[in-house]
Amino acid sequence: MKKKNIYISLFTALSIIIHGFEYMIPVVTPWFKLGLANSVSLAVLVVYGLKDALFVTLLRIFISSIIFGTFLGPAFFLSLSGGIVSITTMGFFYYLANPFLSTIGISLLGAYSHILAQGFVISKFMIGHDSIFLLIPGMLLLSLVTGIINGTISSRLCTHLMLVKQKEKLV
Amino acid sequence: MFTLPKHIKKDTFLHKLNPRIKLSVLLLIIGIIACTHSLWTLSGIFLFILIISRYSKISVSTLLIRLRPFSWFFTFTIIMQFFFIPGESLPYFPVGCIDITYDGIWQGVYLVEKLSLLIMSTYLFISTTSPQELVRLLDRILAPGKRIFPQVTDISEMVLLTIKFIPILLCQAKDHIKKEKGKLKKKKGVKERIGYLIMIVDSYFESVIQNAHQMIDDVSNETSS
């Protein structure tokens, strides 16, 4: 197996651990999470590119759903929709506005798109009602905080990953 | 922190059944639940789940316990339907701007029933399928992804490797949290705590990355032996 793939597996495992770690952090609402696992995906996006970041995100969602027993349940579909939309949005803006947007800026856009995608899935496929969008402004405000936290963490993680990439000479 | 594994080991027909058949049936059930508007169909699915749980020796109470983490989501769904679905009002309503309708109550209960059935059916699938079988199944599901991710030659190997890394990283995380938890409690104020949280996560990442080379060698040797 390629060394890069081993590292990708390691980063996926790391994001799953961080996802579990989040359950220990008290939050303001019961369904609200910091989304720290996304900071690993963002760092992989910056260091290795969109394809690998998308792969890490998908693998994390599938494996963690198997571990936590939510595979194919409502939480799985929410996670999948949010994860795919946010990493694609972050990838799009990373390539589009690379020198002008910092990791925190990209992370913020990712957090917003994550919330909007989940809101869309809940309204169309779960509760069948647009009333969820009444909560969106509040959730977007909370996303501002999580986006900044995740962006700060991933910018630090990026420096660590850059060192690994240089050391291992991974493509 | 983690509640793994969810698989309940039993020697029943459902446990022995090919995971692909189980997944196909589950997807069919999910499709029916998503599309149906009939209470009779939902009752039929509920009856089917009860029969399956009996044959797979998984108690109904275990299935119902699985619904507990979703109680907030159910409450939210019901409240949203109660107050936002127009129709014939309940006696003594509307009170000011608050109106609860019969249609709203019906819709709320109906949606919660749908979501509960969805959760119970997926739990039956997870609890009767071993993690190894799930990983193999995951490999098959992600197989078309090989076209999109040409650099990934063996997804199942990567999945297995990820699962091997988890306990190692979990141990490191536990040690790290033990060391830092006391210090976090001493921090007062949200801003200071958030700053410290970022520092903890960052130092954890740093320690993982520093040990990555050794960890990868260990896991690679274990895999090859």
Please, which pLDDT band fits residue B3 given cuts at 50, 70 and 90? very low
Angle between helices B190-224 and A3-21 (to 10 degrees): 140
Q: What is the pLDDT, as a whole number, of residue B48?
A: 92
Please, which pLDDT band fits residue B47 given cuts at 50, 70 and 90? very high
Q: Does A140 touch chain B (CB under 8 A)?
A: no
Please, which pLDDT band fits residue A126 given cuts at 50, 70 and 90? confident
Mean pLDDT of A54-82: 83
Question: How far does the CA of residue B9 sit from the closest CA of chain A (Å)?
Answer: 15
- Residue at A68: amino acid letter: F
Spatial CB neighbours of B91, under 8 Å, sequence gap ≥ 6: none
| Beta-carbon separation of A51 and B157 below 8 A | no
Mean pLDDT of A18-26: 73
Dist. CA B196–CA A25, nearest whole Å: 12
**∠B28-B29-B31 over CA atoms, to 5°?**
65
| Beta-carbon separation of B158 and A25 below 8 A | no
Please, which pLDDT band fits residue B176 given cuts at 50, 70 and 90? confident
Question: In the predicted model, is pLDDT for residue B5 greater than 60?
Answer: no
Cβ-contact B42, B36 below 8 angstroms: yes
Chain B from 113 to 172: CB within 8 A of any A CB: 115, 118-119, 122-123, 125-127, 131, 134-135, 138, 141-142, 145, 148-149, 151-154, 157-159, 161-163, 165-166, 169-170
Top-confidence residue, B1 or B123: B123
User: What DSSP line would sit under B68-104, residue for residue?
Assistant: GGGHHHHHHHHHHHHHH--SSBPTT--BTTB--BHHH
pTM of the shown model: 0.76
Among all residues of chain B, which has the CA nearest to that of A25? Answer: B197
Q: What is the pLDDT, as a whole number, of residue B135?
A: 74
- Average pLDDT over all residues of chain A: 82
- Average pLDDT over all residues of chain B: 78
Question: In the predicted model, is pLDDT for residue B4 greater than 50?
Answer: no
Dist. CA A101–CA A84, nearest whole Å: 20
Q: What is the pLDDT, as a whole number, of residue B34?
A: 81
Phi, psi of A75 (to 5 degrees): -65, -35
Question: How far does the CA of residue A100 sit from the closest CA of chain B (Å)?
Answer: 24
Phi, psi of B115 (to 5 degrees): -65, -40
Q: Where are the alpha helices (DSSP H) in chain A?
A: 3-21, 37-48, 50-68, 74-96, 103-121, 136-168
Question: How far does the CA of residue A115 sit from the closest CA of chain B (Å)?
Answer: 15
Dist. CA A11–CA B53, nearest whole Å: 37
Among A137-141, B28-32, B146-150, which stretch is predicted with the lowest mean pLDDT? B146-150
B113-166 pLDDT per residue, tens: 888 888 888 888 888 888 778 777 777 776 776 666 655 556 777 777 788 788
Q: Does A72 touch chain B (CB under 8 A)?
A: yes
Q: What is the pLDDT, as a whole number, of residue B44?
A: 92
